[in-house]
Structure 1
């Protein structure tokens, strides 16, 4: 990879109502998201960019900060301005993160942090629609995409259909459930956001109180029985959901 900083040829429309910093940020974001700029590519600094594009230094700084805020570049003293790892986009579908990442060409790895089988307490029983004391399996996993932590996932399942520890290291939960005859048919899902705790930030490679996306999902089979309840945390700097909307 070249050591000379990348100097983008960005056309600027000075008659447009779009701010100059936004035009620069949008053009650079498109190059990064399309894969034209690979992770690790070093960009020119704001002084060089401002001089070359004939804009003010605060304009160039604001454009680069927009990309930092979106998690597309990092700016560190000594390292300069560098394109980060790919941003993960995931459709709002009843699918597993493992399958979505693999389908989009990411190299996926999983670390099992917790795997326990025990009698359900009242809260766990309510989540799964079973009686307290029924056998359940609780799983916590750290999922990585291309070597970078992307999600911290807690799942609760009826013990009778829970995949093994070893299988979960190699495959996605929903694929394993389907193989055991527990096919997800519908789900109720809630997406939110909050700040990371110190422990969550450390696990996900983020700063303390970094923004996280939260997803709580309960999946049901065709008979209406709960097959899993999940509470997942995603790095907002590396991850987003996409959905299609249709007019009525």
Structure 2
């Protein structure tokens, strides 16, 4: 915890002290004063710093954990993970959603190749097994922190894809520039855990919870133009769904 982080507590306020502390730390996380991976002092030290009881400080830290802003790790202590990326369930790309929220997405292309579509990919794309597709894997970071491993298959007839463009722009933006008019998608969201490779790429522990998303996007003619399988760090990412009657 930076020594410069001062918290002015109003002990006469009806707002509980633990909430005042949690709100101040949350503001420091969101404005970058406490960047991701910052290690916080233990509850005893923080309680002493702000002249609070240890149970009050524990309530404040529990509130930050529930908000997904910090995480307790065995052998490490309490660590900032930053605000979650919250994404509406709609036909949009992660890249554009991040940019619209003021984030700075960075992309590393892990692999890019043309292959014959295996049966499990040919089926959602509605093509024949063995038809040529562009298979790409990318690592998406937000403000330098790993967020997602994205795997996509695009029929070769849809667009030409290259590493330079994919590292400078989002896949959907590239496909739109190629003339694709996205209209709808079939999407499935689930959960899984990180294997050895995913844990290394996403800088999390093996077995950590991941959000899994599969999507097949269709154009205005109803033709499947892209199939994706994405894995997101569950401690940094969630989908928002609005339900109406």
TM over 0.5: yes
Q: Is residue 27 of structure 1 aligned with residue 10 of structure 2?
A: no
Preserved contact between residue 139 and residue 156 of structure 1 (Cα < 8 Å)? yes
The answer as to 2:208 corresponding to 1:179 is no
Report the Cα distance in structure 2 between the residues aligned to 1:64 and 1:77, rounded to whole angstroms. 16
TM-score between both structures, scaled by the size of structure 2: 0.82
1:121 aligns with 2:118: yes
Which residue of structure 2 aligns with residue 245 of structure 1? 243
Superposed CA offset, 1:13-59 (max 9, x none): 9999x9x86x468535752565385426775541244354643x245
Q: Any residues of structure 2 matched to 1:175-214 within 5 Å, and which?
A: 175-214=173-212
* Contact 2:30 2:82 survives alignment (8 Å): no
Distance in 1 (alpha carbons) for counterparts of 2:55 and 2:78: 16
201 and 182 in structure 1: CA distance in 2 versus 1, 3 angstrom threshold:
same
CA distance in 2, matches of 1:232, 1:86: 20
Shift of 1:196: 1.0
**Count of aligned pairs:** 242
Unaligned runs of at least 5 residues, structure 1: none
Residue deviations 1:147-171 (CA, integer Å, cap 9, x gap): 1111000111111124222211111
Match of 1:39 among 19, 35, 38: 35
Note if 1:169 corresponds to 2:174. Answer: no
2:108·2:167 contact (CA, 8 Å) conserved in 1? yes
Does residue 143 (structure 1) correspond to residue 140 (structure 2)? The answer is yes
Counterpart of 1:160 in 2: which secondary structure? coil
Structure 1 residue 62, shift from structure 2 partner: 5.0
Looking at structure 2, the residues matched to 109 and 217 of structure 1 have their Cα atoms a distance apart, in angstroms, of 21
TM-score (norm 1): 0.81
Q: RMSD of aligned C-alpha atoms?
A: 3.3
Instruction: Quote the Cα distance in structure 1 between the aligned partners of 2:58 and 2:131.
Output: 57
Q: Distance in 1 between matches of 2:179 and 2:101?
A: 26
